[in-house]
Structure 1
Amino acid sequence: MIAGEASGDLLGADLIRSLKHDYPQAEFKGIGGQQMIAQGLQSWVPMEKLSVMGFFEVIKHLPELISIRRFCIQQLLKTRPGAVIGIDAPDFNFKIEAAAKQAGIPAIHYVGPSVWAWREKRLKTIKKQVDGVLVLFPFELEYYQKYGIPAKCVGHPLATQVLKAPTQSFARETLSIAKDVPVTGLLPGSRMSEVHLMADIYIQVAVHIQTIHPKMQFVIPCIHAEAKQRIEKAITDYGSGLKVTLLDQQAQLAMAASDQLLVTSGTATLEAALMQRPMILAMKIHPVSYWIMKRLATTQWIGLPNILAKKTLVPEYIQAEATVQNISLALAKLIQDPKLRHLQLSAFKEQAEQLQQDTSAIAVKAIQHWANL
């Protein structure tokens, strides 16, 4: 099993947990984060080495990524596992899955790539690389059926997991934050490249919001120590006097404690929606990466709540629009406008109901079928 970032680590851990129920003696090897490791995965290299976002950033790390991928292929050919499961990270995982399938090892991809957003024709190649694809959203199935690729919609595990999320009162008690103060969560990303670009902007936005709402407090989950250091530097440079709590990971606890969120794109936008938290989305990537993405994209939105709704529920500030002024104005409006908050929350509730399935149990049955386990 190979995951490349925090969202994949969460999916992988949940899947390992379910697979162990049916196969208690099974061994799990590959690449994963702390959550997969906690479930028993033997990770060959730190998952953070794969957590690279954007075309330019990938090019910079390409030699190391190729070396890691070559090592993974060597290991799977040597050990010949019962199945190879790549979790998201399509540009990294599909080559590994193709090598597995060619060697007669069942190859399954978990989290279909965003073919509905860009590069649909790559499905012609994907058909040759995998034995099946597990997708998270119902609307994705038609794309795979069109190209004759076995696919199963498993729903999104976050939709079920957030039912067990801490309450706001519990989260605030845990973080020693009073129940009656306003709190905004700042989530600058799960990749270091995102944190580097967004940290200064997010802290400056927080300072601006605190001038309007002096009682406002902020919570920021930090994906790892390096991200925490970068955010601490931003606070030193721009956030003197800011009422802010930094957490080691614990993104869900930060969301639970908050009244509203400022989020960088990715699975965090979906988790925020499922937890019924109004939000603003802001994102910057390397200019070359953005230039390429704009020319290949076929959807006008980046946030998953907007893509699911097929309209702009969550205001998006991307690249040049992701300025301190624009984001501050939008966040201030979200804090003060009950109609805007209600509009988001009503749609989020519908999306949660649509995505709540027994995800890992469905995934295990599909894996058993495709891999003949």
Structure 2
Amino acid sequence: MAGLRLGMVAGEASGDLLAASVLDGLSARTDALDARGIGGPQMRHGGFDAWWTTDALSVNGYIEVLREYPRLKRMRDSLRERLLEWRPDVFVGVDAPDFNLDLELALRERGLRTVHFIGPSIWAWRAGRIERIRRAVDHVLLIFPFEEEIYRKAGIPATYVGHPLADRIPEGVDTEGARRALGLFPGGGPVVALMPGSRGGEVERLGPDFLRTAAWLHLRRPDIRFLLPAASDRLFERLREMATALKLPATLPLTLVSGRSHEVIAAADTVLVASGTATLEVALMRKPMVIAYRLAWLSYRIMRRMALLPWIGLPNILSREFIVPEFVQAAVRPEALGQALLAQLDDDAGREAIARRFADLHGQLRRDCASRAAERILEIGGG
């Protein structure tokens, strides 16, 4: 194709990563890709013109969104007008459905073609959103195989393209190599990764209890080593402040890392992780995990009323059973999390069984997502 003008919005770090893979696929198929909108460092590295950064959309929870709504609405209105003036061939909203669907609807009503990448999880909650999706988008790109039938029955054009993380993450993980790269001496005790989230709100709600869990485990198993990756420089400083304020044991073998989350996961024997895309990254790297989830009280009450599934973690949702344990709200306590992690560390057969299940999941999701998504976007944008 001679060229493509692409509008795109990606929210938070995971959306930035997913969108960047699609931009790579489009760049390989067009002579000139001009992509603009809201994006993060991964997208900008590929030449994306970010009018705003993904950090501006990183808000988690219903009450938190309401608090930020005036700012978000001003940004969305300004973005809409810029896109309507620029007139891209196609607009692609990456996840962030509460922001993107309204934007997509406004653009589509003014004659622009719209695609939503990562279908809103109507299978988990907010099933009433389906009519809004039907009006807002020309096509939905799906990352999970079971979603295609749901959208087909709803009469919404959709294509399963696989998950870009499944293409990006290799089948084999070099655990010892990752440990050496992170400065952990080989032959030491087991390694537990602590991943309290990539957003500030998540880290504030989960970070203290994740660190207290490390302290709880250290008292019982002094040989365990801990890795804590921070998604940004700002969160690195915040986590360091948090660890200092908690007055953790001076002997606690805790390594705080800036970025490098994949290396941290690869180095771990098991992972304590906030519910979200990171749980899928852990699963694709064949690692057992304990999932934690905590929202502001009112946000959680609203979400719980709308929930349609008994699971919150993506590996469990995709497997349709509790492959790994989940702890939600008040159940997120250091002793409970610590006991679940110890149970995994002390069960070699159990960890191997989890790894096999996650290997099967990897195979289902690996579909060359970037190529499939790019082909559909070019078809729609060129039509």
Tell me the TM-score range normalised by the shorter chain. over 0.9
What per-residue deviation string (whole Å, max 9, x for no partner) do you get for residues 94-124 of structure 1?
Answer: 1111122112111000000110011222111
Residues 222-277 of structure 1: per-residue CA shift (max 9 Å, x gap) = 11122122211221133232211112121111101111100000011011000011
Establish whether residue 367 from structure 1 lines up as the match of residue 380 from structure 2: no
2:308 counterpart of 1:298:
yes
Alignment correspondent of 2:4: none
8 Å contact 1:165–1:256 — kept in the other structure?
no
Aligned CA distance change for structure 1 residues 165 and 80 (closer, same or farther; 3 Å): farther
Over the matched positions of the two proteins, sequence identity in percent amounts to: 38
2:256 matches 1:240: no
User: Is the CA contact 1:17–1:39 (under 8 Å) kept in the aligned structure 2?
Assistant: yes
Q: Is the 8 A contact 2:101 2:132 kept in 1?
A: no
Aligned pairs for 1:184-199 (under 5 A) are 184-199=192-207
Query: What TM-score do the two structures reach when normalised by structure 2?
Result: 0.95
Contact 2:134 2:156 in 1 (8 A): yes
Moved more, 107-116 or 20-29: 20-29
Secondary structure in 2 aligned to 1:84? Answer: strand
One-letter amino acid matched to 1:288: L
In structure 2, the residue matched to 1:320 is: 330
Q: Is the 8 A contact 1:18 1:364 kept in 2?
A: yes
Aligned with 2:77 (options 70, 75, 88): 70
Which of 273, 276, 280 matches 2:290?
Answer: 280
Q: How far, CA to CA, are the matches of 2:120 and 2:132 in structure 1? A: 12
Aligned residues: 373
- Corresponding residue SS for 2:22: helix
For the 8 Å contact 1:199–1:230, the answer to whether it is kept is no
Q: Distance in 2 between matches of 1:87 and 1:332?
A: 37
Structure 2: distance between partners of 1:76 and 1:255: 39
Q: Superposed, which structure 2 residues align to 1:213-252 within 5 Å? A: 213-238=221-246, 239-241=248-250, 242-252=252-262
Q: Against the structure 1 CA distance between its residues 105 and 302, is the aligned structure 2 distance closer, same or farther, given a 3 Å change threshold?
A: same
Question: Aligned partners of 2:47 and 2:92: how far apart in 1?
Answer: 15
- Tell me the amino acid that sits aligned with residue 2 of structure 1: V
Q: Deviations over 1:174-195 (max 9, x none)?
A: 1111122221111000111100
Q: Which residue of structure 2 lines up, in the alignment, with residue 201 of structure 1?
A: 209
Cα deviations by residue, 1:28-71 (Å, 9 ceiling, x for unpaired): 11111110111111111221110111101111111111111111
Aligned-pair CA distance for 1:20? 0.7
1:316-364 residue CA offsets vs partner (Å, 9 max, x unmatched): 0000111111111111111112233233212111101111111011111
The letter for the 2-side match of 1:189 is G
Cα offset, 1:131, TM superposition: 0.5
Superposed CA RMSD? 1.3
* Residues in 2 aligned to 1:39 and 1:368: alpha-carbon distance in whole angstroms: 18
Question: What letter matches 1:240 in structure 2?
Answer: P
> Offset of 1:165 from its aligned partner?
7.7
Contact 2:22/2:370, CA 8 A, preserved across alignment: yes
| Correspondences of 1:23-172 after superposition (within 5 Å) | 23-163=30-170, 167-172=174-179
For 2:253, the aligned partner's letter is K
What's the secondary structure of 2:52's corresponding residue?
coil
Deviates most, 207-216 or 153-162: 207-216
Q: Which runs of 5+ in 1 are unaligned?
A: none
The 1-side partners of 2:346 and 2:41 are apart by 38
Could you tell me how far apart the structure 2 residues matched to 1:176 and 1:35 are? 26
Alpha-carbon offset, residue 164 of structure 1:
7.5
8 Å CA contact 1:313, 1:343 repeated in 2: no
Supply the distance in 2 between the matched residues of 1:234 and 1:142 (Cα, whole angstroms).
Answer: 45
Q: Distance between the aligned counterparts of 1:180 and 1:140, measured in 2?
A: 44
User: How has the CA–CA distance of structure 1 residues 166 and 37 changed in structure 2, closer, same or farther, with 3 Å as cutoff?
Assistant: farther
